[in-house]
Amino acid sequence: MEISIPKDFIIGAAASAWQTEGWKGKKEGQDSFIDSWYKNERFVWHEGYGPAVATNFMENYEKDIALMKEIHLTHYRTSINWARFFTDYEKLIVDEEYAAHIDGIIDRQIEAGVEPMICLEHYEVPSYLLDTYDGWSSKHVLELYVQYAQIAFERYGDRVKNWFTFNEPIVVQTRCYLDAARWPHEQNTKKWMLWNYHKALATARVVESYHRTQDDGRIGCILNPEMVYPRSSSVEDVQAAKMYDLFFNRVFFDPMINGEYSEELIQVCKKHEIYFDPTNEELEVIKNNPVDFLGINQYYPKRVRAPRYAWSDQTPFHPEAYYESFDLPGRRMNNSRGWEIYPEIMYDMSMYLKDNYRPIPWLITENGMGREQEELYKNEDGIVQDDYRIEFISQHLYHLLRGVKDGSTCEGYMLWAFTDCVSPMNAFKNRYGLVRIELDKQRTRSLKKSAYWYRSLVDDRKLIVEDEKDFK
């Protein structure tokens, strides 16, 4: 099948500051949460690789932007590293050397015809604020973040017209404080929900601040909702999926799009003593400042069933009291990453947003395929023949465009990632990029087969997908 891609449909790629830039020029005391985790638990990062060197983007960003231009990329999203943006987090003294680096990235992208999209926090909360105020538990940290955002808008808002407050705002506290699976391994469900709330409130505050001073751009947030499917059509399984959606998707969708929390979430939080106790003034700010647009990160489906066992009163409350994860037998897998491949999530998420919320603009800000040992797929010219990535993108983009055809307000697709980059714990084990990064001292770059194919999408605006209607 040949599918036309709308002329104004964004075809871009993404990364983050901490996953690419490395520590060159980083000053004492500028550690982020990620930096501190790496220093405290380096052993959990695959073969010890982490943010210290990453892809050496600090030194190589002009080369990378030249490659973006060669691929004809239309948009590129990255982040400002909050922890490196200041030398004093209380007085908000900007690190002018790092700020100039951000200027350089933005200017070079614009010169190359690649529109910059900037996220203000991609897991880069300063360690100082974690150590001193317990991070997003504190309203003082929230105030400092709002002021940081305003400084960023003043410096870069003349050139950057698409902003995001957070990337996947639920992730850090879920991994660290709900599941306690990552450093610092503190189990505290009430803190988990409080961080969720403070990040939603911070987003509303920053939206309010942005629109006071900027009149020709827009600001949103990048969420990572999981399209959740019940194991069966039973009332119990359907209810389990509904509760997962409430705790992990609607907890941000509702305040950011509708301007209010659902009464159902409020009551279940009160029942389990994890309510976040908002003030009337804070709820008014959330109500009056919904996001302008959304980024949606999508990789795999979430499948659940009704829980088969009673929740122990000796175990801290977890939303799993209401659901149990379910692995679909025979599911298609990315065996490198351990994730199910189900491209239909793109269409289903499109319809979920269309059917449940106002027609807010949104785009896929992350989707991609991680594959280990990609060097095994090099041809005689040293080019990685990543046909599996081309197939993965094609199938997901096909279902996304189906959604657009059926009335979705989706504006585009951004691949994770532009280059191979460091991921939490995974490090460089699984590669995601259109551009290969060698783990030599120079972090040498080369284009993969998928890079040339991706360029054809941008240029020709045509997607060719295999017709699978015939039974085998």
**Nearby residues of 124 by Cβ (< 8 Å), 6 or more positions away:** 16, 17, 18, 32, 33, 34, 79, 80, 81, 82, 83, 84
Sign of CA dihedral 88, 93, 97, 103: positive
pLDDT at 467: 74
Give the C-alpha distances (Å, rounded to integers) separating 446 from 11, 81, 381, 385: 20, 26, 11, 12
pLDDT at 469: 66
Q: Check 226, 282, 320, 366 and give the catalytic one.
A: 366
Mean pLDDT by 10 residues, the chain (472 residues): 94 97 96 97 95 95 97 97 98 98 98 98 98 98 98 98 98 97 97 98 98 94 98 98 98 98 98 97 98 98 97 96 96 88 98 98 97 95 96 97 97 97 94 97 96 97 82 62
As a residue count, the chain comes to 472
Strand 218-223 relative to strand 162-167, pairing = parallel
Cα–Cα distance between 87 and 92 in angstroms, integer?
7
Task: Return the ∠ at Cα 113 (arms to 107 and 117), rounded to 5°.
Answer: 65
Tell me which long-range contacts 429-436 makes (C-beta under 8 A, separation of at least 24). 429/46, 429/47, 429/372, 430/336, 430/337, 430/370, 430/371, 430/372, 431/370, 431/371, 431/372, 431/374, 432/368, 432/369, 432/370, 434/13, 434/71, 435/64, 435/67, 436/374, 436/384
Tracing tokens 């919904």 back to the chain, one arrives at 290
pLDDT at 470: 63
Catalytic (active site) residue 260: no
Is the Cβ–Cβ distance between 307 and 324 less than 8 Å?
yes
Rounded to a whole number of angstroms, the distance between the first and last alpha carbons of the chain is 18
Cα–Cα distance between 141 and 202 in angstroms, integer?
10
Catalytic (active site) residue 47: no
Is the Cβ–Cβ distance between 400 and 413 less than 8 Å?
yes
What is the pTM (predicted TM-score) of this model? 0.96
pLDDT at 337: 75
Cα–Cα distance between 366 and 58 in angstroms, integer?
22
Report helix, strand or coil for 166.
strand
Q: Check 115, 168, 282, 320 and give the catalytic one.
A: 168
